Structure 1
């Protein structure tokens, strides 16, 4: 356990404890500079990612250091919100973007916030600046002269912030599925959704068999989003993990968020949209039902909301979000576009969460000459692939690699990305990226054409 101040601005204030795991290198002669991992989320369980990191070979030649970020599972305190977990499980049977659903979410967030604050937690202290300082303290506590940083999703924002504020001791940085600190916001989510979803549909059109079998997929998606928003489907579906069937609602907002979350595998999306258009919503209904099995007490929503509400939400209006949605998906219903993908009603949640605006210190691009590997998947609808090169523009010794046909968190899904990361760690100034040149998305699932009437 690493003990750090809860707030470094409050000298003499309380301390918190962060769990640390060190996974030994597989190699009998490991390199002296370990890899430290930064989990996504914000609020994800870093220890839960260890099996994926090990399976990807991240600890092959170097020790792997994993720390539970402040407020997350295994840290003390853990800012868990069972109130929000219970809402998430219930929400599969609610209209995604109905005002009544938003009120229930805000109520759950307020209950969690009030409970955490009553326990003495300083929610303003759970931010990316303090998070980065924790990792700087960890390196010093372990007596490590130099190490390599690897982060994905929110962990890339954290890694870039850490590189900007605490560059000493960093040999190299690898960022996977990039969230640039200077640009992330609620309107930004629509740009990423457009790029990721659009890439899936375009890849189908580029494969002759898929393109012939499923023509005009963008139009199909628009039509189905509009249809479901006007006339939601109320269904019973069995979660993919098994168990009793649950009642679900499929409206336009739910459809879009299932696509952004990759709840239906990308290779199945064209077939699933075609089936939906022909009156068979089973694939999407089962994906929606999966939310009913949301684990209580794994995601640290306290860190999620403290970061989002202080760093992502301020400075933009509801109109800004709606206009970004209209630009990304012309013709879609405003009611769908008024909610940020994966973060519905977040502006209202943030009014209840009530933390200070930190955008002036966090919305800053990182300028560095530390060797950096920038990995993106072309099917990523959470943090679009274009944001990798965007972040790299101020990283003078960066190598940017796009992996076709891969979604969010590239390395565990791509053997090529694993080889590139290993090569980068061996020589950050000259990684071997050749395997990416010949890659193409996998063939899509092709279902039989319906018989003519």
Structure 2
């Protein structure tokens, strides 16, 4: 089936659908033309993949580019085209279905081409069990040509003397950078107003025509769900099913309701911790702890030293209360991080900012998502013009109103949109989508970005919709977790969307198991060690570690051999007691190093990111025992050198061993691994 996708194909116009125009209330915006529906010209050609494909998977993957017009208006310049990368992951089924699953991605929608391809290949075998999966990057994306990624907004430009400017400090610079990016793009002939959701939906329709797909299934993730819904509205031809994971329907005033969604997610976290016996006992007033963290951050920004994503050098990040809320929103959206959030909140309230290091590092590493000019084109045209200026009545009255006081306002976005300067979209882009295509809506119960209520809102206009909420899961449960219930329901739906499928498994899902100080000894030492040695491959750290451990291993072997000879002869040529002390010290240090290596290779990554498993506390005693033995060794050697005890060679070797033990102890102390 996929062989024909490797051939260059042209698709011509098949129909024109009239659309009503509308003016939208906006301070300085003019209504844009109606949504495009005509396919003017599109072609698909094979090309090398834009993301790295593992060697063992390459026989299943083909790639190419879809070329589409930048605009589809009657007076559009036919020479202005875009190239969108496409990755096709083939099914291994012998009797493959001929209706592939197509996923439009962007950094706002599912994390981008690289992460979705990796997930499908490595963690979502169910997706390609019966049919191919086609992943297409939306216009303006990282690998698209042209890309609307604004390098002018890169994190590197806001780092001064190893410190990242705060959000408030960065805003004036950010506005200037947005202007510079827009100027650069327009000078190159790029029209920022052409990068809309409706245009992306038309691109997908072009893809179907170019690949000659009679039937297809479209899956939208997060922001990509708007593309899928718009496709359902504008180009329903051939659509067999639609899967919406964490849907963001156009009629929802997302920008205004975002504080409500985050507040509800935080409230759910606090309630779940209170209902959990261990979490509730350890953190009896988590709300007060969170209030303390926010108040402290508002009074004086929290400072955390992370690794710069630019050069991996130390980078001091200052987080005010709004930054903390942004970080909390990102963490709550990640189901894998939620179990540790009560622990982090409690440690931050106690002044231990290092406890938030793994979360802060992830946010910094993903900060380049803010470079996405395509996101500005969509939000500034399709969402901000339809946003209510005033805070919603629900937000003002709900129990989390105090939390809302720490959340960012829309003022910064308004300033950015004024600079980006794209016209407001037609009113239809903020209206409910209606359709009869079977649609599956999946929501995480604790999603702070797209709460389940939004799925219910989207389903109102879809006559063949089925919505499911999954307890203890957050954003994009289908594509960010390996939960068997989510995949089971999705697989049933794709196999037979009209059947009365078994959808009872959400009621059997277990609640979140929280990580507390009963499970982990708080320290960021193991996390920093793994980053420095395993990820950054810091040569100095590796050399010290290899040399000291190598010498300790030689000492241990030497001591064992010497001991066996001493037992045979009852005499030896080394200073009395020195070999035993050196061997014991080396043994304890090697046992500690081996224990740490075993933890890093077999332990729970979540636990290790925030500390050492509580059950492993005896391991922490080993370097102190080694230090005590080293102290005895040093005393014996001082006496030996003064009195000439033992041979010169033994004294030299044992002295080098003592130096290695001391060096290893100093290394542990510097790494924060020497503690009780």
Distance 2:311 2:452 in 1: 33
Q: 8 Å contact 2:380–2:417 — kept in the other structure? A: yes
Q: How many angstroms does 1:89 deviate by? A: 6.8
Distance 1:387 1:83 in 2: 34
Match of 1:191 in 2: 260
Match of 2:372 in 1: 301
Distance 1:88 1:374 in 2: 40
- Structure 1, unpaired ranges of 5+: none
Map 1:15-34 onto structure 2 (within 5 A). Answer: 15-34=81-100
Aligned match for 1:270, one of 336, 342, 361: 342
Q: How many angstroms does 1:47 deviate by? A: 4.2
Match of 1:138 in 2: 207
Q: How many angstroms does 1:356 deviate by? A: 0.4
Q: 8 Å contact 1:78–1:300 — kept in the other structure? A: no
TM-score between both structures, scaled by the size of structure 1:
0.90
Q: How many angstroms does 1:22 deviate by? A: 1.4
2:229 is aligned with 1:163: no
Q: 8 Å contact 1:196–1:381 — kept in the other structure? A: yes
Distance 1:316 1:299 in 2: 21
Misfit runs of 4+, over 4 Å: 87-92, 238-243, 321-328
Distance 1:242 1:126 in 2: 32
Match of 2:515 in 1: 445
Distance 1:175 1:333 in 2: 28
Aligned match for 2:414, one of 347, 368, 377: 347
Map 1:159-238 onto structure 2 (within 5 A). Answer: 159-238=228-307
2:64 is aligned with 1:3: no
Q: 1:436 to 1:11 in 2, by over 3 A?
A: same
What per-residue deviation string (whole Å, max 9, x for no partner) do you get for residues 270-295 of structure 1? 11111111111223244224444457
2:398 is aligned with 1:314: no
Distance 1:49 1:89 in 2: 29
Match of 2:424 in 1: 357
Q: 1:195 to 1:24 in 2, by over 3 A?
A: same
- Structure 2, unpaired ranges of 5+: 1-64, 522-676
TM-score between both structures, scaled by the size of structure 2:
0.61
Task: Give the number of equivalent residue pairs.
Answer: 443
Report which structure shows greater RCO (CA 8 Å, sep ≥6).
1
Q: How many angstroms does 1:117 deviate by? A: 1.1
Distance 1:326 1:405 in 2: 26
Distance 2:492 2:467 in 1: 14
Q: 8 Å contact 2:218–2:228 — kept in the other structure? A: yes
Could you tell which deviates more after superposition, 130-139 or 262-271? 262-271
Map 1:30-429 onto structure 2 (within 5 A). Answer: 30-42=96-108, 44-54=111-121, 55-56=123-124, 57-86=126-155, 90=159, 93-96=164-167, 98=168, 100-238=169-307, 243-262=312-331, 265-294=337-366, 301-316=372-387, 319-320=390-391, 324=395, 329-332=400-403, 334=405, 336-339=406-409, 345-358=412-425, 360-412=427-479, 413=481, 414-429=483-498
Distance 1:286 1:322 in 2: 36
Q: 1:328 to 1:79 in 2, by over 3 A?
A: farther
Distance 1:201 1:238 in 2: 30
Q: How many angstroms does 1:299 deviate by? A: 7.3
Q: 8 Å contact 2:256–2:388 — kept in the other structure? A: no
Q: Tell me the SS of whatever aligns to 2:402.
A: coil
Q: 1:89 to 1:370 in 2, by over 3 A?
A: farther
Higher radius of gyration, 1 or 2: 2
Distance 1:370 1:102 in 2: 44
Could you tell which deviates more after superposition, 425-434 or 143-152? 425-434
Q: 8 Å contact 1:46–1:66 — kept in the other structure? A: yes
Distance 2:414 2:212 in 1: 42
Q: 8 Å contact 2:103–2:220 — kept in the other structure? A: yes
Could you tell which deviates more after superposition, 138-147 or 391-400? 391-400
